[in-house]
Structure 1
Amino acid sequence: MGSPVKRRKQFPGATAYFDRHRKRRWRFRKGGFSAELGSDYGSEDFVRRYEDAVNGHKTRGLIGADRTKPYSVSQLVALWYRSPEFLDLAPSTQKVYRGIVEKFREEHGDKPVRLMRRRHVQTILAEKAETPTAANNLRKRLIQSMDFAITLDWRGDNPARATKPFRVGGDGFHTWDEDELAQFFKTHKPGTLAHTAVTLMLYTGAARVDAVKLGPKNVRNGKIEYRRQKTQRSGGVLVSVPIHPDLAEVLDKLPKDRPFLATQKGTIRSAGGLGNLMQRWTEDAKLPQCSAHGLRKACARRLAEAGATAHEIGAVTGHKTLALVQRYTEAAGREGMTDSAIEKLIARPNGERNLANPPKRFVKSETNPKQGKDNL
């Protein structure tokens, strides 16, 4: 007898998972593309969805709005993915947005857009109350998609805008402080990739996705110049940062024919790869709360504490708006500002008061109130 023939999988690429209600569902995954197949394995609806998913994979994820219900959430999402507003986003941002929107689409794709109300959005967001950041991210995507629905004349208002975001404790990614930086550099000495990477991001404010691409070709007239990948679709914000002496000392010792954070083969390291290394390096330094993005915030914090304005900080970090930068400047050096404020109060003699513009309640009228009444 010959060896047993291995049974071929009936639906290659289909895998099972359990949703938040512990119900078993199926999805198709292949090469970064995924699509929901429902919960009834092998049914006619399952087979139809599977065939659509396979075709969708062959066309690299071009979602056909003609396969969805007219004016449904699913059709709106399909059209939004093809819109200039969405296509102008960086590929990495598109991927993040899709990950958020597709989960919403799985549960509500067949529902008509025109019937969505504020209370519906509130209920959907309330289900994510235990993860407020995720809820707020979904809210932002719903606002964008409903704004797009207005441009299509599918509805005249945006119910998502009428909701309020969840309060989130903290400021997102942890900002490295000076003690943490010293602890990291004590563990990772000059000459190591870890030391080079952290020094580069700390003194340029570059995000991971930009830091891995920086090299000698970006050095011009004593500055590191590059265009942020996040803003490339809209022309890219040009960042030009003078090279700090501490950074110059590190860069001078690196090869001149490859990126600063190159792999052993001399090629550009992936942003994800750098992120994995950063996690390992911070754990080695006993700093699990620290991350690459936190270095970008630390750069802004240092600039703010040095007295840089919000516009100056934004020029270094490449922010297009100053809202986030303003948070850095407001938070920076609060301890030092309170010290100086109390010192000024202590320096003033006890009881001294500036009466150049005294409050009205402290001004004594020379007119007798009773006399004033008699004169009326």
Structure 2
Amino acid sequence: MAARSSSDMPRRLPKYCTEDVDRHGNPRIYFRRSGQKKIRLKGIPFSEPFMEGYRLALEGKLQPEQVTRRPKAKPDTVRWLVEEYLGSAFFLDRCPAPRTRQVRRRELEAMCVKAGDEPITAITSKVIRKGMDRRRETPEAANDFLKALRGLFAFAVQYEHSTIDPTIGVKKLRSRNPEGWHTWSVDEVRQYETRHPVGTKARLALALLLYTGARRSDVVGLGRQHVREGHLKFRVFKNRLRKHVEVEIPVLPELQEVIGATPEKGDLTFMISDHGRAWSSGDSFGNRFRDWCTEAGLPHCSPHGLRKAGATIAAENGASEAQLMAIYGWSDMKMASHYTRKANRKRLAGDAAHLMVPRQTENEIVPLSSSVDSGGTNSPKNVRKNNAI
């Protein structure tokens, strides 16, 4: 593994600057002198906007942002219920993943902007359906809205803030794209490889996604410490707070070649950002990968589409459901059977397609019946037999 040069190493932050992470998991840089309130510095560290803010902070001309506190919500209103829910152990237990909590919080806070002062009873099934109708152009957004309300009213009923759950009977909208993310074709993989040759970070990203079957949230954490005796072993990031799923797969020669030929990589994480640091989240890495896809003329392709492509190829090459589960970290056979069924249908259709071609019968010789003699007349014995029928 190639060592990183000093120019690749991340620079130390200026004096009095510290890095912090907000409740959504986003990194923030603050200026903080002893005995003073912290001041957020906006912009990428060492960029012109950042350094201008740092200069003003040093000169005492930049003041901390004033936080306007919202007045306390009235009991039994929608905003009051949302605040109770988001601050409860129930919310943390049902939504252990930070990503899920972020989505639920965003949906509920947006609802409070419009209906926060309304009583809880104002949220009826009819109101929820109308809210989903307003989001009908994006069914996934409508379904996220419904999921957030289901969690909210499950809490309300259990904690006796409400006796009715208005989400019961409200159905999710059908996705306009039931297949989900676009599955890469082999030609699209080759097109990406042509644009991003071996040795680039973009090519390393493709190899890690395609030859490990890992999600983007797992790829950003993979490093040399996960490689042991030719195998890559890691714990799946998704649902990690609910269940532990270990994946252990061989490091394919194709992947090893790309890793070894990439000079710009980290030690504890193979993938590093443009700032020479580990990626802060799978989302930010996914956005960068989409940029690389666009550069290759593939704006419709995504990291998850590579995972689907790998599962499709493996299933078509004969991988069993148990083998797919081991590779992709699935804990049940639902997803694995989806790919094996598709592969079996394709295989069966290929084997039977020739049966749709009509058989040629015009020039075939039809043998004479045993009841007809060489002269073409029925024998007396057969005539009597036929008359009896």
TM-score (norm 1): 0.68
Are 1:112 and 2:88 counterparts? no
Aligned letter for 2:195? T
- 5 Å-filtered alignment, 1:1-376, equals 54-55=68-69, 67-88=72-93, 89-170=96-177, 171-253=179-261, 257-263=267-273, 267-270=277-280, 271-332=282-343, 334-343=345-354
SS of the equivalent of 2:232 reads strand
Query: 1:348 and 1:108, CA in 2 relative to 1: closer, same or farther beyond 3 A?
Result: farther
Across the aligned residues of Structure 1 and Structure 2, the Cα RMSD in angstroms comes to 3.3
Q: Is the CA contact (8 Å cut-off) linking 1:116 and 1:159 kept in structure 2?
A: yes
Look at both structures and tell me which one has the larger radius of gyration over its CA atoms: 2
Q: Is the CA contact (8 Å cut-off) linking 2:139 and 2:176 kept in structure 1?
A: no
How many Å separate the matches in 2 of 1:114 and 1:85?
Answer: 21
Q: Is the CA contact (8 Å cut-off) linking 1:218 and 1:224 kept in structure 2?
A: yes
Residue 341 of structure 1 deviates from its aligned partner by 3.4
Name the structure 2 match of 1:21: none
Residue 247 of structure 1 deviates from its aligned partner by 1.5
Deviations 1:288-324 (A, max 9, x none): 0001122222222223323334443233223345444
Q: Is the CA contact (8 Å cut-off) linking 1:114 and 1:154 kept in structure 2?
A: no
Q: Is the CA contact (8 Å cut-off) linking 2:266 and 2:278 kept in structure 1?
A: no
Query: 1:191 and 1:210, CA in 2 relative to 1: closer, same or farther beyond 3 A?
Result: same
Query: 1:322 and 1:163, CA in 2 relative to 1: closer, same or farther beyond 3 A?
Result: farther
Query: 1:205 and 1:110, CA in 2 relative to 1: closer, same or farther beyond 3 A?
Result: farther
If asked which structure has higher relative contact order (CA below 8 Å, sep 6+), I would say 2
How many Å separate the matches in 1 of 2:336 and 2:85?
Answer: 30
Deviations 1:321-357 (A, max 9, x none): 544444444444644432223346779999xxxxxxx
Residue 184 of structure 1 deviates from its aligned partner by 0.9
Aligned letter for 1:296? R
Residue 261 of structure 1 deviates from its aligned partner by 1.1
Residue 176 of structure 1 deviates from its aligned partner by 1.2
Can you give the 5+ residue segments of structure 2 that lack an aligned partner in the other structure?
1-39, 43-64, 362-389
Residue 167 of structure 1 deviates from its aligned partner by 1.9
Aligned letter for 1:148? F
Deviations 1:238-264 (A, max 9, x none): 222222232222234457834211247
How many Å separate the matches in 1 of 2:343 and 2:260?
Answer: 31
SS of the equivalent of 2:130 reads helix
SS of the equivalent of 2:239 reads helix
Deviations 1:188-212 (A, max 9, x none): 1112111111110112222222211
Q: Is the CA contact (8 Å cut-off) linking 1:72 and 1:110 kept in structure 2?
A: yes
Aligned letter for 1:306? N
How many Å separate the matches in 2 of 1:252 and 1:243?
Answer: 12
How many Å separate the matches in 1 of 2:66 and 2:86?
Answer: 18
SS of the equivalent of 1:198 reads helix
How many Å separate the matches in 2 of 1:315 and 1:105?
Answer: 43
Query: 1:256 and 1:290, CA in 2 relative to 1: closer, same or farther beyond 3 A?
Result: closer
Can you give the 5+ residue segments of structure 1 that lack an aligned partner in the other structure?
1-29, 33-50, 57-65, 351-376
How many Å separate the matches in 1 of 2:97 and 2:158?
Answer: 22
Residue 84 of structure 1 deviates from its aligned partner by 3.5
Query: 1:340 and 1:153, CA in 2 relative to 1: closer, same or farther beyond 3 A?
Result: farther
Using the aligned pairs only, state the percent identity.
Answer: 33
Query: 1:327 and 1:215, CA in 2 relative to 1: closer, same or farther beyond 3 A?
Result: same
Query: 1:118 and 1:190, CA in 2 relative to 1: closer, same or farther beyond 3 A?
Result: same
Q: Is the CA contact (8 Å cut-off) linking 2:222 and 2:268 kept in structure 1?
A: no
Query: 1:264 and 1:153, CA in 2 relative to 1: closer, same or farther beyond 3 A?
Result: closer
How many Å separate the matches in 2 of 1:325 and 1:53?
Answer: 49
TM-score (norm 2): 0.66
Aligned letter for 1:267? R
Residue 230 of structure 1 deviates from its aligned partner by 2.7
Name the structure 1 match of 2:49: none
